[in-house]
Each structure stands twice: as C-alpha cells, then as structure tokens.
Structure 1
C-alpha cells in the first residue's frame, strides 16, 4: 500500500516503455501526445510556413517559438525538461543557420549531422562488439542486465543496434542529397516522413526482439527451477 504522501510514477515513455512493457504502445514509444507535438510541430510549422511564404526568418522564428513554449510548459508543470532542451538546441541551431545563410535548407543541417553521428556511433559500437542498444536496454530493464554474458543476448542487441544504425544511415542517404541540391521543401517532407513514422516502425521491431529474449529467458529460468526442485519433491513422496 502506498502512503498518502507518495505519488504514483508516471507511465514509462520512449525506449523505456518499449523495453519494459509487454505490449507495444505507439503513443508511449514517442512520449505520448506531448512527445508527438514537440517532435513534429516545429518542423511541420517550418515546412508549411516556408512553403507558402518563402520567408526564412518567419518560418525559423515560428518554429523556435513553439519549442520555447514547450520548454516553458514543461518547466511550469515540473515535467522532465531534457527532451525539450535537446529539441530547443537543435531547432535553435537550425534556425540560426537558416536565417544567417538565408537558405531554408540550413534549418535541417543540425539534424542531418546528428543523424550521421548516431549512425557512425552505433555502427562502431557493433564493430567493437559492444552494441549500444544492449546497454540502453539493460539500463531501463533489469531483466536483461546480464545480456553481455549471453551469446543470445549479444546477438539480439547487435541486431537491434543495427536496426537503429540503418535508420539513421538511411536518413542521411536520403536527406543529404536533398540538402546539397537545395531542395528545401522535399527535404522538410522527407524529414517528417522519416521522423516519427520510421522511428515507430524500427522501435516496434526492436521491441519484438527484446520481448522474445525476455520470454525465452523467463522460460529457461522456470524450467531450471522445476528441474532443481523436482528431485526434492520426489524424495518427499
């Protein structure tokens, strides 16, 4: 029983929700309605405003303003501010580059660089046999804390890391040519399509791999327990 003064923990979101839940929830994976709005609205607003006005300053300021409002709202409601801060930095840098250069494509440059860094980092973690997703999974789900000692665990999270590395690499492969060609509108649309929808799809695949591993380990543990206790029970009989 919880004490009257204690407050229940909010439901898990993001990768934690995907690794610790028995059923996959799209909304939990993306951080709920607030996460969806904070992830999509700034870019969507820039794409729409720039498409119809061709005004880099207006589109950039409006997009940055939405991010700042989201950050203020999180502070006012005493919510976690880390996602909003990281978003504000990325949007702020993109807005600065776009306004400074007068080129709307500059708005997407920080995200493009971030995707490239993530892709390289994840691939390197696989090459050195320390797949990054395994450490994330162990951090949020204690059930797989021993994944490094299991060949099956290492294989599972190597594939999981490869999925995310592929996602980031694909983003760079599609969006970099659009950026260098100056196709700002197409770049914005590609960023939206390859954002939340692609993340949800890849995270669902990783969720299935993680859940299958946990179930196999639970089944093996149950079988081992039955084998260990059955001789004792037979002697008693």
Structure 2
C-alpha cells in the first residue's frame, strides 16, 4: 500500500490507534490504508452502483465487479506487495456479489454490510453493558498481547480510570456509527432505492471510518500516553528493585 512511514510503522485501523500517544506522526490516510488502499476499497462499490444504474444489467454488473476485485489482488501479486488487504476485500466483495446473484436483486449486494454492522453494534453494546469497552480490549490486545498473566494485563488498563473512560467513549462512538449506517441505509434497501443506497454506502464507508479513527485518536492519545509513561516508570522501578535484591543477595553470600 502507498503508506507513509508512520503508517508503515504503526499499521492501519485499530493497529494505528494502538500506537496512539507515541508521537505526533499519526496519519489518518495511513491509518485507513493509504491512498491506494482507499481507492481499492471504494472502487468495487463505485463500479457496482454506477454500472447497474447505467445498464440495469445485474449479471454484467456482477461480472465486471468480480473481475475488478480479482484484478486488484493479481496486480498486488505481480508487484510483490502485501495482498492481505486486497484479499480480504475480495472475500467481502465476493460475498456481496454472490448474495446479489443468488437473489437476483441488486440491492442484496449490500445485505452483508447490514449484517456486519448489526453484529458489530451488538458486540460493542454488550461490552458497554458489561463495563468492558470492546475497543479498549482490542486495542490493548494489539498493543500488548497477554500471552501470560491475563489478569494483570486486564487490570492494568481497566484500572486506569482515564484510559478506560476514553475507551468507553470511543466504543460508544463506533457503536453509534454502525447504528447510523443501519438507520440511513436499511430504509433505502426496503424501498429498493439502489442508487441512493449505493451512494449512502460509499459516503458512510471509508469517509466515516476515517472520521471515527481520527476522533478516536484525539480521545485516547493523551490518556494512553500517560498510561504508557506510568507503565515505563513501573517497569523501571521493578528493575531497580530486582537489582537491589540481587546486590543484597551477593553481599549476604560474601559475608558468609
């Protein structure tokens, strides 16, 4: 992907948020996959809605959209670049196209998106009810994989009131985003306004995602920075304490 140095170092999506508080090099464009990643994500949807509205030929629209999605993966393979993003996009587009093809309804191209948005909103809502903000758990899992001492890992970030509050706020934010998509797009689906639905899907896709990531970064950057500083100080203090114990042991053994 055409990423900046910051994007390459910090990753995309929630991986980028996991690096919040480490400096001022956060880039929204890099966090959503770079310019090329954005184009690759939006192009199949644009082609689908424009071609269907222009031709009203669902089979042709599905065929061209599928060919385009496959071509994106092939181009990345030929250029020896990472294909994970394009491949995951191919799978998602493939599911949407198969759904539309099986039902013979162009609007069903968007059904998979409704289901995923509903599932995400439900999971985030359940996490808020449980008082364990899902976005906080995911970001902390990415930032510091709890391969052992799970309880200590869990207590570390949930015990930081400022950080947990920030994670709770962005979890509410993302849940609202998913629910807003459903509130706007489902009525268009039910009334079979394919063109309007396609436009709404595009506008509420990457642009809304970019906005959510940017606002989330603004909310969590400061408390995460303070948390990381506190972690570093605690680790340094623990190291000094261990060194002190080791020196005491050596002195005691010499005295013997």
Q: TM-score, normalised by structure 1?
A: 0.81
- 1:206 alignment partner in structure 2: 216
Unmatched runs of 5 consecutive residues or more in structure 2:
1-6, 145-152, 237-256
**In 2, Cα distance between equivalents of 1:178 and 1:92:** 22
Unmatched runs of 5 consecutive residues or more in structure 1:
1-8, 226-237
**In 1, Cα distance between equivalents of 2:217 and 2:110:** 29
Change (3 A) 1:100 1:10: same
Q: TM-score, normalised by structure 2?
A: 0.75
User: SS of 2:131's equivalent?
Assistant: coil
Change (3 A) 1:139 1:216: same
**In 2, Cα distance between equivalents of 1:15 and 1:78:** 25
- For residues 80-229 of structure 1, what are the structure 2 equivalents within 5 Å? 80-142=82-144, 146-217=156-227
Aligned length: 219
Residue 109 of structure 1, CA deviation: 0.8
- 1:234 alignment partner in structure 2: none
Residue 152 of structure 1, CA deviation: 1.9
- 1:13 alignment partner in structure 2: 12
User: SS of 1:130's equivalent?
Assistant: coil
Quote the RMSD (CA, aligned, Å). 2.8
Q: Deviations 1:2-30 (Å, cap 9, x if unpaired)?
A: xxxxxxx9432232223315343121111
- For residues 51-66 of structure 1, what are the structure 2 equivalents within 5 Å? 51-66=53-68
- 2:252 alignment partner in structure 1: none
User: SS of 1:17's equivalent?
Assistant: helix
- For residues 26-45 of structure 1, what are the structure 2 equivalents within 5 Å? 26-45=28-47
Residue 102 of structure 1, CA deviation: 2.3
Contact persistence 2:117–2:178 (CA under 8 A): yes
- Which deviates more, 82-91 or 173-182? 82-91
